[in-house]
Chain A
Amino acid sequence: MKKNTLARIGFSLPFLIPLFLFWIIPLISAFSISFTDWDYISPKFNFVGFDNYKDMFLDTDFLRALQNTFAFAFGTILPTIVLGFLLALIFQKAFGGSKLFQIIIFSPWITPAVAVSMVWSWIYDPEKGFANYLLALFGLGPSSWLQSSKTAMLAIIIFTIWKSVGWTFLFYIGALSQVPKSLYEASDVDGASYLRKLWHITVPYISPTTFFLIIVNLIQSIQVYDQIQIMTQGGPGGSTTTLLYLYYDKSFQNYQMGPANAVAIIILVIIILLSLLSNRVSKRFVHYE
């Protein structure tokens, strides 16, 4: 027993120390500062109770950022999961060159956001970019993409899907490969169509993976910052300002650490709630073997 306790401590400390320093302490300080009007640099500050939170819910910027965050999350998670799944289906049976295509689909995920965001800014250029050129090929009018508050969010969403679908795609490939062939064969005997097999065998079998991917994608989409900062800086007119971008704005541009941390805590609460919700939903839909 003693040996085990020593091992427990020895094996956990190297992880727990950085966790404590760089995650737990910041979490606690974010929580406490959200109740003050401190700006991190003045020597004195005041406790303001729930004022920061109250003001936040009355602030149009915050409400818009909340809306943008949900729009962005929904707009990226759903297509990513669906596209990732559909693309993976294509690869369910091996064929020549499949490995190459897999690499190609995965490649955007591994690139530094900074490098590709720059190229995409050019792609989205309303006058000379490739995006409008493509639209023209299909007979559609040019879009202002990043320049208009009506289309900027869509542009960022498209970019984010492009960048992250590969990761989801690979996970689905793995999951699909684990579905026992025997299940399919059994239903073939009953004369089941492809779609039937898909809906009644494949989808339920890989539901744990779907659940996992939804949670991870959710957490990642709420943390998106790099591409917004590079492509739109939260604009135009605040249309691409998500909650996290709002946090950056308040904390680093305006030194309002109190309200900024209140935003951060709200983000945390939202993520926790959504995860719990997904957990509840998963109990109904996810089938573990």
Chain B
Amino acid sequence: MKAKLISVLKYIFLCAISFLFLFPFLWMLFGSFKTNNEIWQKPYQLFPSNLDFALLLKNLQEIHLNGYLLNSFFVGCLGTILILLVCSMFAYAVVFLKSKNMDRIFVVVLITYMLPGAVTYVPSYIILANLHMLDKLTGLIFSYLANVFAVFYFRQNFMKTSVDFVEAAKIDGAGHWTILRHVILPLNISAFCSVGLLTFIQLYNSYMWPSIMLNSQEKYLISQGLRQFFIQDGAYGMNWSQVMLASTVAVLPVVLILIIAQKWLIAAISQDSGVKF
């Protein structure tokens, strides 16, 4: 009996919590269907008075978010693949190609992790300008490649990988690249998946740095695109339902990815959480 009561209480509690967590999304979603006055009215009301899908489609076309979404996806996908490659290679070197120098380098890497990103913006801007990579999505990706969190995570996992496998492969005459690709990668698939997912989300959502080094509006990522609605002079009479719709559209892809990939993500994090520094 007690167990049943606890179970029921648990569900009620979880539902209440879920409502709190979901509320902003619901507000965005339903706001897309409301008129300006409905959104602002007091007493507040969650549900829209009617669901006009035709109007929704029309608004969708007006807000032109597809360019921004594409940019965010491009940066997210390409950036993630490259970061996985570059960071796993370095983590491999740190773990399996140990040396005094590598350890010293690793300490330096650790220190840079603690530097607030904002401080690097202006110098990075100058460097990108000199490399002619300003205002380019490839430049943006290049500046993101040194992802220290990914290196930590990979190092974590590689350290737990049994050295026996690596030794066995070496005896077979395998080169380091082969070892990474055919031994380490398969054994740590979940790590690659979770780093990949987290990195993609981070790149997709990024806001501050891209808004400094991207000038052309057509290159903006989704966060900047969203911001455009708010800040320009002369934008009186803003269509708030369009803004809500835009916010919903911006958030939807990552939510979908989460739903699809949650199995891997959650399983991956549960396997790898015996973390060590």
Contact = CB atoms under 8 A, between A and B. Distances in A.
Interface of A: 3-4, 7-8, 11-12, 14-16, 18-19, 21-27, 29-30, 40, 87, 90, 95, 99, 101-108, 110-116, 118-120, 122-123, 127-130, 133, 162, 166, 170-175, 177-178, 208-209, 211-212, 215, 219, 222-223, 225-226, 244, 247-248, 251, 257, 261, 264, 267-268, 271-272, 275, 279, 288-289
Residue of A3, A26, A175, A244 with highest tally of chain B CB at under 10 A: A26
A272 B142 CA distance: 27
Contacts of B250: 112, 114-115
Interface string B235-277: 0000000010001001100110111001101100111111111
A178 B274 CA distance: 8
Q: What's the dominant secondary structure at chain A's contact region? A: helix
Interface residues of B, number: 92
B176 interface: yes
B24 A18 contact: no
Q: What's the dominant secondary structure at chain B's contact region? A: helix
B22 interface: yes
B90 A12 contact: yes
B97 A7 contact: yes
B223 A8 contact: no
Interface of B: 7, 10, 13-14, 17-18, 20-25, 27-28, 39-44, 85-87, 89-90, 92-93, 97, 99, 102, 105, 108-109, 111-124, 127, 142-146, 148, 151, 175-177, 180, 201, 204-205, 207-208, 222-224, 226-227, 230, 243, 247, 250-251, 254-255, 257-259, 262-263, 265-266, 269-277
Contacts of A208: 274-276
A19 to B, nearest CB: 4
Residue of B27, B226, B270 with highest tally of chain A CB at under 10 A: B270
Contacts of A130: 23, 27, 44
A266 to B, nearest CB: 11
A174 B112 contact: no
Contacts of A244: 116, 118
Nearest to A178: B274
Given A23-B115, A105-B18, A119-B24, 15 more contacts: A8-B99, A11-B97, A12-B89, A30-B120, A30-B123, A106-B258, A110-B255, A111-B205, A112-B207, A114-B207, A114-B227, A116-B251, A122-B39, A264-B119, A267-B116
